[in-house]
Amino acid sequence: MAAARQAKPLKQKLSRFVDHFRNDWQIYLMLLPTIIWMIVFLYKPMYGLQIAFKDYSIFRGVAASPWVGFEHFQTLFSNDQFLRAIKNTIIISALNLLFGFPAPIILALMFNEILHATYKRTAQTIVYLPHFISTVIIAGIVTTAFSPTAGVVNTMIGWFGLDSIYFLTKPEWFRPIFVSTGIWQEAGFGSIVFLAAIAGVNPSLYESAVVDGASRWQMMWRITIPSIMPTIIIMLIIRIGNIMEVSFELIILLYQPATWSTADVVNTFVYRQGLESGQYDVAAAAGLFNAVVAFVLVMTANTLSRRYSRTSLW
């Protein structure tokens, strides 16, 4: 009885799905490349995650390497450098979130207030551009700009009669330089999504506000920001999901042993352990830990958001 009752809706569901698919197959076709990409580059590699629990030998392969349980995790958590890398990852990400997340929103709001069309477009193009420069070149620009003898920053410090500072070897300067470089590079491009959201705000809201005598400042606070809040929250959730993924290419290019104490993050640690020292199993364990933390964070952020603001990713 119960089985028969369940079978009917299932059949209905299935036929609805087939109809749906027949009508909109073009959309599914467009989705296909992404699905293939995800299977090949994200799902298939998950098979290899097991080496985090194995004594992995490349020659024996994934399947034939013996299991060692949580040995690699014990190795990691007894390693001060790994613990420090976790701490640094969290600090750098928190700084990124604190200063890097509001930057594109502020930028978008500012663009929105510019009335002169040509000026607005030119300014937008200029702030988008850094996004398209390769990380290696960005690192070269930063290294040169902060050079103690020829760098523009130290030249300016010299105008005030102060001694030049070898910024890239000072642990206390690494995070400010890294975070501000990130903002300089990405804030402009990141503002696009918020500009799009602002463009979608119903113009009649502004019109009635003008009739009621609201100032532009009031319109921004009372209309623009609340209207784009769902977008802001979605972007925040995505951002939190990526909190363990600081852009480690830039770190590798900028850090020195002298600045490891503030610059070494989980991903750079994984790089040194895994690729340079060939310990794939330990590196996989570190990466897996990273992914689990990120998963928990994004789930938490999503749940909180759904509960308190009724906006969520899923």
Partner 1 sequence: MNKTLLTTAIVAGAVFGTAANAQDEYKIVDEPLELSIQMNHKRYPVYEEDWPVEQEARALTNIHLKDVTVGANIRTDSENTGKTEALNLMLATGKIPDIVGSSRIKDFVNQYGPEGAFLPLNDLINEHAPNLKKFFEEKPEIKAALSAADGNMYYIPYLPDGKYGRAYFIRYDWLDALKLEVPETVDEFEAVLRAFKTQDPNGNGEADEVPYFARQWPELLRLVTLWDGRSSGSDTYHDFLVEDGEIKHPYAGEGYRDGIKNVARWYEEGLVDAEIFTRGSSSREFLLSENLGGVTHDWFASTAGYNRLSADIDGFAFKAFAPPASISGKRIEEHRRIPIKPDGWAIGGTNKHPVETIKYFDFWFTEAGRRLANFGVEGQHYDMVDGKAVFKDSVLNSDEPVNNQLYAVGSQLQARGYFQDYNYETQWSNEFALEGIALYDEGDYLIDQFLGVAFTADEQKVYDKFWPGIRDYMLERQQTWILGTGDVEADWDDYIAQLNKQNFQDVLDVMNSAYKRQYK
Which positions lie near partner 1, rule CB under 8 A? 57-61, 75, 79-81, 143, 147-149, 166, 168-171, 256-258, 260-261, 272-273, 275-279, 282
Q: Using the minimum distance from each CB to partner 1, give the nearer residue, 59 or 160.
A: 59
Find the shortest distance in angstroms from Cβ 254 to partner 1.
10
- Which string of DSSP letters, residue by residue, matches 20-85? HHHHSHHHHHHHHHHHHHHIIIIIGGGGGGGGGGB---TTTHHHHSPB-TTHHHHHHHT-HHHHHH
Contacts of 36 (CB under 8 A, 6+ apart): none
Q: How far apart are CA 2 and CA 7, in angstroms?
A: 9
Spatial distance between the Cα atoms of 112 and 114, rounded to a whole number of angstroms: 6
Q: Judged by CB, which is closer to partner 1: 9, or 69?
A: 69
In this complex, which beta carbon is closest to partner 1, that of residue 202 or of residue 256?
256
What is the closest distance, in whole angstroms, from the C-beta atom of residue 296 to partner 1 in the complex? 27
Q: How far is CA 285 from each of CA 46, 63, 278, rounded to the nearest angstrom?
A: 12, 17, 13
Nearest residue (CB) to partner 1, 141 versus 193: 141
The distance of closest approach from Cβ of residue 166 to partner 1 in the complex, given in angstroms and rounded to an integer, is 6
- The SS3 of residue 30 is helix
Q: How far is the CB of 179 from partner 1 (least distance, A)?
A: 20
Closest distance of CB 25 from partner 1, Å = 38
Task: Record the tokens describing residue 28, joined without a space.
Answer: 């599914």
Q: Is 148 exposed, middle or buried (0-12, 13-18, 19+ CB in 10 A)?
A: middle
Exposure pattern of 228-239 as b/e (b: 16+ CB <10 Å)? beebbbbbebeb
170: left (phi over 0), alpha (psi -120 to 50) or beta: beta
**Cα separations (Å) of 314 from 13, 138, 227, 232, 285?**
21, 36, 20, 15, 28
Q: What letter would DSSP give residue 65?
A: S
Give 201 or 253: the residue with its C-beta nearer to partner 1: 253
64/292 with CB nearer partner 1: 64
Q: At its nearest, how many Å lie between partner 1 and the CB of residue 250?
A: 15
Write down the least CB distance from residue 246 to partner 1, Å: 19
Rank residues 26 and 78 by Cβ distance to partner 1 and give the closer one: 78
